[in-house]
Chain A
């Protein structure tokens, strides 16, 4: 009979995993757990409770001065902390073996991955995020705000859809961090009240990615989102 003892044993166990991931069940959080699973990198999970503003506490601001999730600490690299989801994905792809399958080394190919990565970080994330805010979180119903951001989300989706015409993935027709970054947001399009009916390429692309084992695993980290359900009864991902 062996008992798990917190303290010394779990400490050594956590120290053996190179990455600690600070995250919550949101699109930006899922990006990193998916990437870690894709690269087979062992990681500890520290769930951050956004409802209690845990991400604004002083100890966490030392890791991410912007006070947001996700963030990682790389224990195999002198406890190096990284914030900004896309910066984390680029860091993991460049620092861990097998990373080139998610971020090519060739300059032209890498640049195309970065184009679509910045497109997600500067466009899809912020705009769909504002749509979510005006739909679900603003204390008053402001039609102008709802329309502005759902329209822009639809426009961004149309750009993605067109780019996927005759292609399986966004950059170099090869799965990359650009797909992971965009997928996590397009996955919850219903929450922003944007339908994928007009975007057949985007739908096909998302369905394909939703089947990847690493994606299915990454989407339940740190736990299932209580408000947004995209799982079927058999545990597969509904896209």
Chain B
């Protein structure tokens, strides 16, 4: 079992490592290479530096919704320790003045990075890009090559501008609107269906959306396709999309992330696995 420690601890760690484990390289002026953090278990010193709750680099403000889930999934994928602050949307907690300082748009998710001067970030995709660029191992979710990264950006903006907003409106007119407006229900269901068909075609003969490699683009789109029923769209016609979703639903980081800040019972099977159908 290994836990990743970020922030000032990795600085202390690497200093102590050089003093204790490699006395020959006792030079504080030697150039630091940015290697991914490896907990040094050789002589048990690691255990003394386990994180305590207030030492976790990230505090996540979230609710159990598609936009919320994107962030803990990513945090789990990158093994970044985080505190969870559950924002209750039913009570409009996200519009309170203290939270508007973190996200002036008054929406979840938002994060604060304590390892970077309490830097706050809003907009789910911006958070995902920030995490992948700031924390080690991020390139496995966001490639450094410009062409490959642009492909990830295309499908990320596609989710943020088309899938999220349109399926969100479909959900609103299906369930939340006080009156049943057929025109609007049809408009947004049709558009959600069209968006799904674009995704399905893009996944023809591929396992993942961009560069045929798992990335933030898949995380961003997955959390919305997971709750396709709210948009009134079935996945029966979209074989590629179904296959893609079933594969992602099995990832341990995804199962953990969808349970944050709390599990929605209808999304999980009895054995704790994620229901994707």
- Number of chain A residues close to chain B: CB under 8 A: 40
| A126:B161 contact, CB within 8 angstroms | yes
Residue from A77, A125, A140 in contact with B147 in the complex, judged by beta carbons closer than 8 Å: A77
- Distance in angstroms between the alpha carbons of A142 and B133 in the assembled complex: 45
Interface stretch of the complex, out of B80-88, B151-159, B233-241: B151-159
| A144:B177 contact, CB within 8 angstroms | yes
Task: Judge whether B35 is part of the interface by a CB distance below 8 angstroms.
Answer: no
| A108:B119 contact, CB within 8 angstroms | yes
Residue of B105, B133, B201 with most partner-chain A CB within 10 A: B105
Say whether, besides A66-B198, A108-B116, A121 and B161 are in contact (CB < 8 Å).
yes
* Residues of the B chain whose Cβ atoms lie less than 8 Å from the Cβ of A114: 123, 125-126, 129-130
- Distance in angstroms between the alpha carbons of A60 and B156 in the assembled complex: 20
| B126:A118 contact, CB within 8 angstroms | yes
- Distance in angstroms between the alpha carbons of A66 and B163 in the assembled complex: 11
Instruction: Give the Cβ gap from A26 to chain B, nearest Cβ, in Å.
Output: 14
Within 8 A of A (CB), among B9-29: none
| A127:B165 contact, CB within 8 angstroms | yes
* Residues of the A chain whose Cβ atoms lie less than 8 Å from the Cβ of B183: 138-140, 142, 145
| B198:A90 contact, CB within 8 angstroms | no
* Residues of the B chain whose Cβ atoms lie less than 8 Å from the Cβ of A84: 153-154, 157-158, 161
| B105:A119 contact, CB within 8 angstroms | yes
- Distance in angstroms between the alpha carbons of A142 and B130 in the assembled complex: 40
Taking residues whose C-beta sits less than 8 angstroms from the other chain, chain B's interface range is 35 or more
Instruction: Give the Cβ gap from B170 to chain A, nearest Cβ, in Å.
Output: 12
Task: Judge whether B227 is part of the interface by a CB distance below 8 angstroms.
Answer: no
Task: Judge whether B72 is part of the interface by a CB distance below 8 angstroms.
Answer: no
| A115:B165 contact, CB within 8 angstroms | no
List residues of chain B with CB under 8 Å of any chain A CB.
Answer: 104-106, 116, 119, 121-126, 129-130, 133-134, 146-147, 150, 153-154, 156-158, 160-162, 164-166, 169, 177, 179, 181, 183-184, 198, 201-202
29 contacts between A and B (CB under 8 A): A67-B198, A84-B157, A86-B157, A86-B161, A87-B150, A87-B157, A90-B150, A91-B146, A108-B119, A114-B129, A114-B130, A115-B121, A115-B126, A118-B123, A118-B124, A118-B160, A121-B157, A121-B160, A122-B125, A122-B160, A122-B161, A122-B164, A126-B166, A130-B169, A140-B183, A142-B181, A142-B184, A144-B184, A159-B105
List residues of chain A with CB under 8 Å of any chain B CB.
Answer: 65-67, 77, 80, 82-87, 90-91, 94-95, 107-108, 111, 114-115, 117-119, 121-123, 125-127, 130, 138-140, 142, 144-145, 156, 159, 162-163
Besides the known contacts A84-B154, A123-B105, A140-B183, 6 further A-B residue pairs in the complex with CB atoms under 8 A apart? A84-B161, A94-B146, A114-B123, A122-B161, A126-B162, A126-B165
